Structure 1
């Protein structure tokens, strides 16, 4: 047992940016595309490739686990307003541009392909302006534009991946509250409370309703004032993954990171998949640890991927509408492999444009401060120097601002 608790900690492993978290998030975004390919291309009933696992669920759960780890650190190191500003910059510019491009660019092209004209585009159903307006704050209240996906194999869904962003933002609210009340730094045990509650629900559900989820059934949505509708199943699973990531961050100085625990986590994760537990069941704890272990232990070349340019968010938000468009154009008739590779190639181009033209330029404003809150130069010049044992605050690097 002594070997298990020897070695470096998560804090030592993640002191800099030498990790594979960006590479892993890119892999997760691509895994979502793999999971969606058969369903979007042929429809749920005619899906030609039945994957042995819920690829999309595995990927999104991983996103939330890594996001909790990174966003918790951002919350601890930033003031409340700065934290909110960073989150807005990272999520919304790319998201809003995606809505506009999809509604006013892709949808008219699909309408023209289906009808041979763009006449009537604005009057054939809920239009593009409504699509942007109703989905502006990530609550997906309009799923299609002018019925362009009505006859698609997976119908009436122009971008079926964006619904998870609202759950992500809800998790950010938790970090914001804990950070603003200083609990995230001064009473880190508070993070364990929601984690214990959510894990208890999953344990009970796994062993009492292992096939059809019980209290967290996906078919029983609930409404939260202002925030909108949620599905219990995903709130519990994704929320737990995020909180586990938060717990790993706040206890990073004592959590060991070694190959024994990594191998054990890999085995438990494999067992949960073999048993068919939805989103790993109670072994989701092992899955989150496995991701953090892999982020530090994957080979150096993989740890360098995404260090300067992170395309994972662009891949995630544009993959579904591009796969949907290719399905409407008939690409699936050439086979699952051709359809998937064509989708990946097209998404890579669009995601690159999103990063270089929208996401990265938006992040250059992360240190902007409104004029009324700026300190005058003379005040800054006379400000006392930090104590020798207190490190000066570091300007966030791009990797610190990434959501998952």
Structure 2
């Protein structure tokens, strides 16, 4: 372990694998949804039976760990004004564009209603408002996807609510000076872990998914933040991954398993980004992850509506072949220009450090 680099040493090396990891995680979400979009049952996915959580949930966990690490680094290095502007321009333009494209273009094409009636329906504008203001992912469009197991055309935006709340938490920590006190983030992380373990012990399999999520996502984000704040001390080592794996196997049927799994996932995500993926083995020139995350679900919903007799796995490859170019368009037409706007607003010529996209 002592021969392994610290997180700070690994971070100082160029390049890193955060962009590649986010792309892998976004694609994993699309693969996971191939099961639930077709059946309406998320636990149909094989990984859910093996670990208790779907591939998509594991991918979202990775997103939050990476986001906690990079967002905390952004606030620490850039200052609050830069941080607030960066976060707004990274999340909001892509979300607004996806909401309008899905509701106005895709919805008009897929609704059973005449176009004029669809545009006059209050449900259309209620969908736009609820998506952009409340990050409501179960909202439906009038006459759209009525035969699908799920009617929601933007089923992944719910995680952005937790992402934005975590962003606000980092901002408050930076404003109050608590970001410089590493023990605060550490106590917060383990407080969430303890709370989740107590809830699992009390309720077991009957624990409401919403309650678990309210502990899970902030805890993983805080774990990513802790890994950054303790970067000069903590090391990235393969033996640590092995120890985590053994501990998970031993504690698999105990109330501590979920919390340990999530904390281990956070460490694994940063280890992958700064270790195996950091040597240009997989270094995408652009960050399509946010676009894939936003557009993967509506593309899969559309394909299932058009070919309902096909299984989700049969439609997986076509959905990827459509989603990736759409995500590329989102990056080059919306997300990258927004980041360039931020750079100009701050009087810079470049985009600066890594820009994490929310899951």
TM-score, length-scaled by structure 2? 0.89
Which residue does the alignment assign to 2:198? 204
How far off is 1:50 after superposition?
Answer: 4.5
Taking the TM superposition and a 5 Å limit, the aligned residue runs for 1:114-263 are 114=112, 117-123=114-120, 126-127=123-124, 129-140=125-136, 143-154=139-150, 156-185=151-180, 187-213=181-207, 217-218=208-209, 231-263=210-242
Is contact 1:268-1:283 (8 Å) kept?
no
Q: 1:310 aligns with which of 269, 287, 308?
A: 287
**1:338 aligns to 2:314 (yes or no):** yes
Distance change >3 Å, CA 103–CA 54, structure 1 → 2: same
Is contact 2:25-2:63 (8 Å) kept?
yes
Which residue does the alignment assign to 1:364? 340
How far off is 1:263 after superposition?
Answer: 2.2
SS in 1 for 2:109: helix
How far off is 1:131 after superposition?
Answer: 2.3
Greater C-alpha radius of gyration: 1
Distance change >3 Å, CA 299–CA 285, structure 1 → 2: closer
Listed one character per residue, the Cα deviations across residues 176-221 of structure 1 (whole Å, up to 9, x for unaligned) are 0111122212x221111211210111222333433222xxx22xxx
How far off is 1:333 after superposition?
Answer: 2.6
Listed one character per residue, the Cα deviations across residues 82-115 of structure 1 (whole Å, up to 9, x for unaligned) are 111000110011110001100110000001xx46
Which residue does the alignment assign to 2:17? 20
Distance in 1, matches of 2:85 and 2:304, equals 37
How far off is 1:401 after superposition?
Answer: 4.5
Any gaps of 5 or more consecutive residues in structure 2? none
Which residue does the alignment assign to 1:326? 303
SS in 2 for 1:146: coil
SS in 2 for 1:353: helix
Distance change >3 Å, CA 348–CA 254, structure 1 → 2: same
Is contact 1:107-1:145 (8 Å) kept?
yes
Is contact 1:125-1:145 (8 Å) kept?
no
Any gaps of 5 or more consecutive residues in structure 1? 219-230, 375-392
Listed one character per residue, the Cα deviations across residues 336-360 of structure 1 (whole Å, up to 9, x for unaligned) are 3321111111101110100111101
Distance change >3 Å, CA 271–CA 355, structure 1 → 2: farther
Q: 2:34 aligns with which of 24, 32, 37?
A: 37
How far off is 1:305 after superposition?
Answer: 2.1
Which residue does the alignment assign to 2:354? 399
Which residue does the alignment assign to 2:80? 80
Which residue does the alignment assign to 1:58? 58
Distance in 2, matches of 1:271 and 1:148, equals 47
Distance in 1, matches of 2:69 and 2:12, equals 13
Listed one character per residue, the Cα deviations across residues 25-63 of structure 1 (whole Å, up to 9, x for unaligned) are 111111111221122123339x87544341121111111
Distance change >3 Å, CA 304–CA 282, structure 1 → 2: closer
Is contact 2:130-2:136 (8 Å) kept?
yes
Total equivalences in the alignment: 355
Distance in 2, matches of 1:142 and 1:206, equals 26
How far off is 1:313 after superposition?
Answer: 0.5
